[in-house]
Amino acid sequence: MEDAYIITGGKKLIGEVMLSGAKNIALKVIIAALMFESEVTLTNIPRIQDIHELIHLLELLGVKIDFTGNTVIINPKNISSNKVDLLHASKIRVSFLLFAPLLHTFGAAIIPNPGGCRLGARSIDRVIDGLRALGVHVEYDSQTGYYNALMKEAPSGEYRFEKPSHTGTELMIMMSVFGAGLITLKNVAQEPEIDDLISMLNESGARIKRVGVDIEVEGVEKLVQHKPFHISADRVEAATYAVAGIASGGSVTISSIQEHFIKSFNDAIIRVGAKVENLGHGTWRYIVTTPMQAIDIETAPYPGFLTDWQPLFAVLMTQTDGKSAIHERIFENRFSYVDELRRLGAKIEYIEKNVANPKEHYHFNYDTKKQYAQTIEISGPQKLHGGVLTVSDLRAGATLVIAALIAENESYVKGVSHISRGYENFIEKIQGLGGEIREI
């Protein structure tokens, strides 16, 4: 295999897609299952590369896992090592969440600096600060690339995030579940995927509740699952197929996702001039009925516009009338797809956006000594043509595929293994909408 797709574009994509379970829930609840006294069953788990990588990593720690269909059964009792393999952990950023189960099990954890998509300098400083605030001693060995953590007593205290952190909030929740008394986490992230993790833990005996922008965790002695936990659908996958339908001038229906996961996405689609129909029971239809208008987008933490949606919107904006701007606040280096879209004829330029207080405005660790390119302007409508494209990360991969699907003639997309990290049955779902795509 050449790790590539051949795509013949120019067709309207029409049909229905049943969404898979959310990658960013599945990874977290699998890791959380290691803290249980009982066997844990999780359903609606997507069969994607990141899940397979995580399962292999956990099996190296001695955990017994069965992954059949979309159900994962985890037996955490045989976990035998507190050191996470560097090679496998480097492939998946959420590996640092293993601090929680390993510290609770062994009182010590040896974990490498996390991997995952290279979207700028994704510092975990806030996470390490949080661990220390709860009484964990953490040191980083720059020679080996490992963090060494030691916990001599049950976590206690409180921690305030300087800026909300999605995965950081999840780790601190897991660290607090077996805490001494009440632990308060302040200025936490509000993303709905976190609420799935909270529900999974609370159903099994945890005492976690949101209080405004804070979370309170009352420590318990054990977690025991009483029924399988079914994870929610993937809101990034939802946006992917919705944009594919709209950008191609077609009509796509997506099933099994609740409104609060995609409200800000739907609001943006309506602003563009496309139609969003709520068919009930978590089913949504997206269709173009009038010429689409350019709009400006700014990424923000939930309930704002999700950063993973902005590459998809860049393709959509090439088909709208006027000039659109996309401003990225969550990550630096999130426009790796721009040069590739230009190869297909997209008119995209980097522009400056005046920001009064960038350290407050941006959610990454802003360095006044560095140059940043955080805003692009897209001119449309623009007919795209075929070309040779290279995928650099997961979300850019889906973006380039959609661009190739709406472009005239044939495109060759390389590096598509990135896409398998986060999309289940991607080719089959695109083909089900009428897209001409095949792997070579």
Spatial distance between the Cα atoms of 257 and 232, rounded to a whole number of angstroms: 7
Q: Which residues of the chain have pLDDT under 50?
A: 116-119, 121-122
Domain count, the chain: 2
- Whether residues 247 and 147 share a domain: the answer is no
Write down the pLDDT at residue 426: 98
- Whether residues 95 and 224 share a domain: the answer is yes
Write down the pLDDT at residue 113: 85
- Whether residues 220 and 277 share a domain: the answer is no
- Whether residues 282 and 424 share a domain: the answer is yes
- Whether residues 171 and 277 share a domain: the answer is no
Query: Which of 230, 260, 280 is the last residue in one of the domains?
Result: 230
Query: Which of 180, 208, 230 is the last residue in one of the domains?
Result: 230
**Which residues constitute the domain of residue 206?**
23-230
Write down the pLDDT at residue 123: 60
- Whether residues 111 and 126 share a domain: the answer is yes
- Whether residues 160 and 237 share a domain: the answer is no
Spatial distance between the Cα atoms of 211 and 243, rounded to a whole number of angstroms: 35
- Whether residues 105 and 211 share a domain: the answer is yes
- Whether residues 334 and 187 share a domain: the answer is no
- Whether residues 160 and 148 share a domain: the answer is yes
- Whether residues 258 and 209 share a domain: the answer is no
CATH code (residue 422): 3.65.10.10
Write down the pLDDT at residue 115: 54
Query: Which of 195, 210, 230 is the last residue in one of the domains?
Result: 230
3-class secondary structure, 308: helix
Write down the pLDDT at residue 122: 46
Write down the pLDDT at residue 234: 98
Full-model pTM: 0.96
Contact 299, 269 (CB under 8 A): no
Write down the pLDDT at residue 52: 97
Write down the pLDDT at residue 93: 84
- Secondary-structure breakdown of the chain: helix, strand, coil percentages, each rounded to the nearest 5: 35, 25, 40
- Whether residues 423 and 277 share a domain: the answer is yes
Which are the catalytic amino acids?
117
The strand ranges marked E within 21-177 are: 40-43, 64-68, 71-75, 108-112, 137-141, 146-150, 158-160
pLDDT (tens digit per residue) in 38-92:
999 999 999 999 999 999 999 999 999 999 999 999 999 999 999 998 888 888 8
